[in-house]
Structure 1
Amino acid sequence: MKITVTVNGEEYERDVEPRLLLVHFLRDDLDLTGTHWGCDTSNCGVCAVWLDGVPVKSCTVLAVMADGKNVRTVEDLERDGELDPVQKGFTECHGLQCGFCTPGMLMTSRWLLDHNPDPSDEEIRVAISGQLCRCTGYENIVRSVRWAAEHPTTWDLQEPDVTV
């Protein structure tokens, strides 16, 4: 099937198998390997991306379902050489260890802060509850998101460009 999808602001047109998962389309067809592939069952959340402004687990979305839509991946967090505050927070507060869950955590956390710039620790925990981290125990991840909330950049202070 022929699909046209905008990924990180760039439009792509490709012929894909109808059964191709979005995670594989991003990784294998577009070489965007920042989105990790973990469980293929939507349990771990490492493959989280935004589909028309909403976080989804790309292992449960077919690429053809993204036809005509906007996808945002972890590669799009950095702007003009400057890391997103969530990325900085994960570095500053040791929010990652092995790094496998990090792309999904970053995308989910960025979405949370775009919709709630000052979340409580409980709201952070609820937002990331669909992501599994096997290393950290989540304390440093929550601290990382809190750090990001306390250190917004100029683009954080703008209205999010969300299409729903």
Structure 2
Amino acid sequence: MTQVKMTVNGKTASGDVEGRTLLAQFLRDDQGLTGTHIGCDTSQCGACVVHVNGKAVKACTMLAIEADGATVDTIEGQANADGSLNVIQQAFQDHHGLQCGFCTPGMVMSAAALLKDNPKPTEAEVRHYLDGNICRCTGYHNIVKAIMAASGQDVGAIAAE
């Protein structure tokens, strides 16, 4: 067992982990942050996306010991300080960018990373960026629309596919 210590959503988090413990397991099992979903265990679906030192990573492919000393942000840390939905979360709700909700935490975390790097992405850029996130319910149209709306762009002209 190895002790890891990191800052998760602005708070110190620590625990003893085996060398093979994934970051997703540490967040879910040790820290009780179950918003980081594990959908495939093969880095295909993106449901486990978190931010490590400001970069979007799939927590099912990173060992917890690799995040030792890092700053980790999860979906639980995305809400506004008063607990209300942040602009991305609100856009997902307003534009029906979710159905079953399983992929939604990873989609929101990916969207946050995209908008940090590219505040006004085109529809094609959003679709390209979400290439590593799978949604089996929505067909992506409303997810793309929500992300573009969160960037402050007019989404009225985005045609349904």
Structures share fold, TM-score greater than 0.5: yes
Give the match for residue 61 of structure 1: 62
Partners of 2:29 and 2:21 lie apart in 1 by 10
Paired residue secondary structure (2:147): helix
**CA distance in 1 between partners of 2:94 and 2:27 (Å):** 29
CA distance in 2, matches of 1:78, 1:130: 23
Deviation at 1:82, TM superposition (A): 2.5
Deviations 1:133-162 (A, max 9, x none): 0011110000000111118xxxxxxxxxxx
d(CA) in 2 for partners of 1:45 and 1:70?
19
Moved more, 104-113 or 77-86: 77-86
Query: Which residue among 131, 145, 161 is the counterpart of 1:143?
Result: 145
Q: What's 2:122 paired with?
A: 120
Aligned residue for 2:93?
Answer: 91
* Matched pairs, number: 151
Counterpart residue number, 2:158: none
Q: Deviation at 1:98?
A: 0.6
Residue number in structure 1 paired with 2:131: 129
Name 1:102's counterpart in structure 2.
104
1:88 and 1:3 mapped to 2: Cα distance? 34
Separation (CA, whole Å) in 2 of partners of 1:52 and 1:7: 10
* TM-score, normalization by structure 2: 0.91
Structure 1 segments of 4 or more deviating over 3 A?
Answer: none
Distance 1:33 1:12 in 2: 15
Q: Which amino acid is the alignment partner of residue 76 of structure 1?
A: G
Provide the rounded CA distance (Å) in 2 between the counterparts of 1:13 and 1:85: 30
Gaps of 5+ in 2: 154-161
Distance 2:84 2:15 in 1: 31
Q: Give the letter for the 2:95 counterpart.
A: C
The Cα shift of 1:13 comes to 2.1
Partner residue, 1:26:
27
Aligned residue for 1:160?
A: none
Q: Deviations over 1:10-59 (max 9, x none)?
A: 11221111110110100000000111111000000100001111101100
SS of residue in 1 equivalent to 2:5? strand
SS of the equivalent of 2:132 reads: coil
SS, match of residue 151 in structure 2: helix
